[in-house]
């Protein structure tokens, strides 16, 4: 029996370059990126992917021009507001991972409402990584363990993962099976380093605003042809199957 892809992570990259190639403001690139995110969420849902994590805004993105940052958050607010009923109706549960203390007040309110309205969703968990840093989350998890009582408690992977989830406001999720990064860059950029320990990596030159169902199908087909070993000498099972 073929295993199926369970958790997909996407590093959505290339909005600015997409806009620059067209002589447009970067904000319009991010607007096109939101449209691409909407398409891919719908496609992943149709394909039966249970967990989808989208890297929307890293902790390092705060260094960008303030007007660009403000535009990104307005677009995130708009997406979560405009798509909320549709997501809830299709059983998509929204969860935002990362820090929240630095987010605009409006964005925090929109996130809280989206999570509340969709909390009963069971078809797919959509995780949006916003003000997210995997390194910061790992440090926060370690600090939580240092403060843990009683101090003689055994620290293992399970306990660490529990604290890591607490650090990023996440429920427990399975490891990421496949990471897709768009725009031709070939690095993880501080994205879910713990959860990606055995993830397959797929890099595409397609800029994120142009990423569509065809491009997703290509990535999933490549994943389906790989043999996953998880450290063993031989591949476990047969080639990985993905719902089409």
Give the number of residues written for the chain.
Answer: 244
Exposure on the CB side of residue 121, measured as CA atoms within 13 A: 26
Could you give the 3-state DSSP secondary structure of residue 128? strand
Alpha-carbon distance values, 154 to 151, 171, 224 (Å): 9, 22, 38
**Is the omega angle on the peptide bond into residue 89 within 30 degrees of 0, that is, cis?**
no
- Comparing CA positions, the residue from 109, 111, 82 lying closest to residue 96 is 111
Rounded-to-integer distance, Cα 182 and Cα 215, Å:
10
Distances, alpha carbon 45 to alpha carbons 7, 37, 120, in Å = 12, 12, 16
Cis peptide before 178 (omega within 30 of 0): no
SS3 80: helix
Exactly one of 6, 60, 61, 105 is catalytic; which is it? 61
Q: Would residue 225 show up in a list of annotated catalytic residues for this protein?
A: no
Tell the residue number behind the tokens 């595409």, with chain if given: 204
Assess contact for 122 and 45: CB atoms under 8 A: no
Catalytic site includes residue 61: yes
Q: Which two tokens stand for residue 35?
A: 């449209």
Exactly one of 13, 131, 177, 190 is catalytic; which is it?
Answer: 13
Active site residues: 13, 61
């Amino acid at each position: 029996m073929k295993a199926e892809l369970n958790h997909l992570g996407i590093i959505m990259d290339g909005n600015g370059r997409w806009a620059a190639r067209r002589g447009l403001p970067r904000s319009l690139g991010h607007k096109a990126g939101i449209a691409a995110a909407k398409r891919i969420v719908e496609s992943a849902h149709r394909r039966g992917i249970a967990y989808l994590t989208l890297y929307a805004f890293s902790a390092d993105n705060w260094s960008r021009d303030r007007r660009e940052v403000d535009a990104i958050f307005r677009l995130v607010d708009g997406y979560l507001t405009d798509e909320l009923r549709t997501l809830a109706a299709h059983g998509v549960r929204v969860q935002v991972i990362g820090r929240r203390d630095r987010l605009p007040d409006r964005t925090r309110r929109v996130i809280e409402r989206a999570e509340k309205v969709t909390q009963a969703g069971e078809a797919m968990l959509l995780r949006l990584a916003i003000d997210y840093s995997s390194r910061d989350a790992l440090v926060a998890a370690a600090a939580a363990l240092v403060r843990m009582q009683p101090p003689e408690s055994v620290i293992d992977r399970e306990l660490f993962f529990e604290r890591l989830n607490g650090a990023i406001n996440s429920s427990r999720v399975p490891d990421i099976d496949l990471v897709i990064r768009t725009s031709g860059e070939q690095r993880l950029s501080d994205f879910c380093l713990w959860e990606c320990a055995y993830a397959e990596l797929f890099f595409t030159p397609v800029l994120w605003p142009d990423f569509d169902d065809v491009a997703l199908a290509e990535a999933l087909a490549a994943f389906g042809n790989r043999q996953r070993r998880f450290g063993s000498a031989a591949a476990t099972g047969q080639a990985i199957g993905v719902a089409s």
